[in-house]
Structure 1
């Protein structure tokens, strides 16, 4: 089949494991003819979002990538919000896809895609939405854009969309309340991950633990991300410090923002069981997740939570609506410091329970988060 992934309302980043990358990679691996049409927004030097020149090249996920500039006689900061791009209709005509996956609902080119679908009704059109009340329509300008620009575009395109794919339950609520999308037109389609088979998992686990000097009796916690105050790394370290088990370890993976760096350094230096590993690639992080015993994310949401479930990890995560499907006998949902402390102490008092929780995380991941299954879903 011929499949086009349009990443014009979101960024597309080579050599990463975001949803867009994983679905493209799975479709290529399955032997389909895949094209990615993306904006020029991407990560620059793995540090921050920025913009590159328009180009065409073979992407890291195995598909041809066409990066299109923003169009329109507006200042750049306006153009990147309107998300108009030249040549999208002609690209669709030339490629003649069987399936269109439009990533991110908010952008002008959704109308272009809907027009193409109307003229070619046999084509399957899926639109995924990552928007929710935490990340969209929060400021004055954003509220105006969503109400008077994005919403009318979405409403006009809806009759031609086969399904709106929502990455979380909060996204379902947002699409219903903000854009007027009916429940029957939406489907829960969470961010997923790669699930290694038993042999590969054990290989990753043993190799990574050996490289870190971890013994079988060590119980290892890991928290990752670009750490600011919202990630609650300070709170995690304080809760971890309340435990006394000498065989406990706490790994920090990622970059710490200068606003919390001094406090993080203070807490880390005071506990020899804490180790900061720095920034890791997605593949390196996955192997580390296979190696540790508990993934910790008590603050703002991150796709690493789904990755950790795919790596069979019990979790300690924030008690928010979007996490409800993912914590069922495989960890702890926390909303206060007291609950975070209690989660660490629960592991301290009964570390043997982690083995059963690990199996439960694998079951949840296999049911909800396997990108191979999710990629296949988009073909029907």
Structure 2
């Protein structure tokens, strides 16, 4: 059985989450490969805090071998210039046919280069999660960290890699603009949703159960939003104000931790009669909440929940970020071009009117749903599609 090694060392790796580094290996495994994930000893805990776990090896519920290793500096995973001295030995042990490097912004890109140069039959794919919404936001970051340090590593990887994937259109552009990767080697590999969870949550009983549990009637228009609410997503507070101003049948379900700096403002806006707040949701619960929605709204920075919402066949209201328009497959999205209560309220009212008529946004949402399933994304990730 051929082996794929996913190198996921740039940030925390959390078992049971629905991030790309969880779902891509899961569906690569279903393509018939032995799949190994080399991950740090850090993960996200409940409440959005970082937790350290023991180093070691184990098999997860999807039949994927997880190898957790400590960095040489014994520092938290957020330390930018960490190295992993055990990585090369692990690659030599597993002798993968394919290496998928999740994030090139790591000094051990050099280790990957060394291994592939010594084993030229190994196929290499590299992805990028950096764009101008989360990186290169000041002169030093842009010109020193990205255009000098990480560019050096990217250019070493370039002749060895079959493809550099940006997980958003903006992240494809970031590869080209900041690291000088040739456009011919760059392409889009969308993030998406877990086919299994979509199928489970699409059962009509899931929708009715959630709405019953939170006292939403079938006549209510339920808006769902989720993810960590912090300074990058403070617009959730504007969504709360918009729902508060709308008629009594417009309800809001919010899930995810609230940053301590915003908690006071959040609690002031929490309208108990119209809003439900769930501090933490596991993967299955997040899909179930989306299933209960009539519309999904993300008025702040992009997260993987955007693509999951599309995969659930729901119309979205989201903030327009350059290079994120790919989620609008066929008219299933309303983009917010400015922050404010008014634009959010108007967008939701448009969907309320459309819903009553079984209109174009809802028809488009049903068509768009199949565009973001990991069963198809996994094939593309290793050049099978």
Question: Fold-level match, TM-score > 0.5?
Answer: yes
Correspondence for 2:106:
107
Correspondence for 2:220:
218
RMSD, aligned CA = 2.4
Correspondence for 1:92:
91
Q: Closer, same or farther in 2 for the Cα pair 1:355/1:118, shift >3 Å? A: farther
Structure 2 counterparts to residues 224-235 of structure 1, below 5 A: 224-231=226-233, 232-235=235-238
Q: Closer, same or farther in 2 for the Cα pair 1:146/1:58, shift >3 Å? A: same
Correspondence for 2:118:
119
Task: Tell me by how many angstroms 1:199 deviates.
Answer: 8.9
Select between 210-219 and 177-186 the one with higher mean Cα deviation: 210-219
* Structure 2 CA distance for aligned equivalents of residues 19 and 190 of structure 1: 9
CA offset digits 1:333-368 (Å, max 9, x no partner): 01332321211222344432566534423432412x
Whether the 8 Å CA contact 1:221–1:251 is kept in 2: the answer is: yes
* Structure 1 CA distance for aligned equivalents of residues 201 and 250 of structure 2: 26
* Structure 1 CA distance for aligned equivalents of residues 138 and 253 of structure 2: 35
* Structure 1 CA distance for aligned equivalents of residues 355 and 245 of structure 2: 16
Correspondence for 2:306:
305
Aligned partner of 1:261 among 260, 263, 282: 263
Q: Closer, same or farther in 2 for the Cα pair 1:23/1:362, shift >3 Å? A: farther
Matched, 1:360 2:361: no
SS in 2 for 1:67: strand
Whether the 8 Å CA contact 1:248–1:273 is kept in 2: the answer is: yes
Task: Tell me by how many angstroms 1:78 deviates.
Answer: 10
Whether the 8 Å CA contact 1:225–1:254 is kept in 2: the answer is: yes
Q: Closer, same or farther in 2 for the Cα pair 1:226/1:379, shift >3 Å? A: closer
Correspondence for 1:242:
245
Correspondence for 1:170:
170
Task: Tell me by how many angstroms 1:300 deviates.
Answer: 1.4
Q: Closer, same or farther in 2 for the Cα pair 1:351/1:179, shift >3 Å? A: same
CA offset digits 1:38-72 (Å, max 9, x no partner): 12232144531243342222235431111122126
Moved over 6 A (4+): none
Matched, 1:21 2:22: yes
* Structure 1 CA distance for aligned equivalents of residues 128 and 166 of structure 2: 5
* Structure 1 CA distance for aligned equivalents of residues 263 and 78 of structure 2: 35
* Structure 2 CA distance for aligned equivalents of residues 3 and 248 of structure 1: 47
Q: Closer, same or farther in 2 for the Cα pair 1:352/1:123, shift >3 Å? A: farther
* Structure 1 CA distance for aligned equivalents of residues 35 and 348 of structure 2: 45
Q: Closer, same or farther in 2 for the Cα pair 1:162/1:262, shift >3 Å? A: same
Q: Closer, same or farther in 2 for the Cα pair 1:98/1:359, shift >3 Å? A: farther
SS in 2 for 1:205: helix
Task: Tell me by how many angstroms 1:228 deviates.
Answer: 2.3
Aligned partner of 2:350 among 331, 346, 351: 346
Task: Tell me by how many angstroms 1:164 deviates.
Answer: 0.4
* Structure 2 CA distance for aligned equivalents of residues 331 and 76 of structure 1: 41
Correspondence for 1:329:
331
Normalised by the length of structure 1, the TM-score is 0.90
Correspondence for 1:155:
155
Normalised by the length of structure 2, the TM-score is 0.89
Matched, 1:66 2:70: no
Structure 1 alignment gaps of length 5 or more = none
* Structure 1 CA distance for aligned equivalents of residues 149 and 326 of structure 2: 32
Whether the 8 Å CA contact 1:71–1:79 is kept in 2: the answer is: no
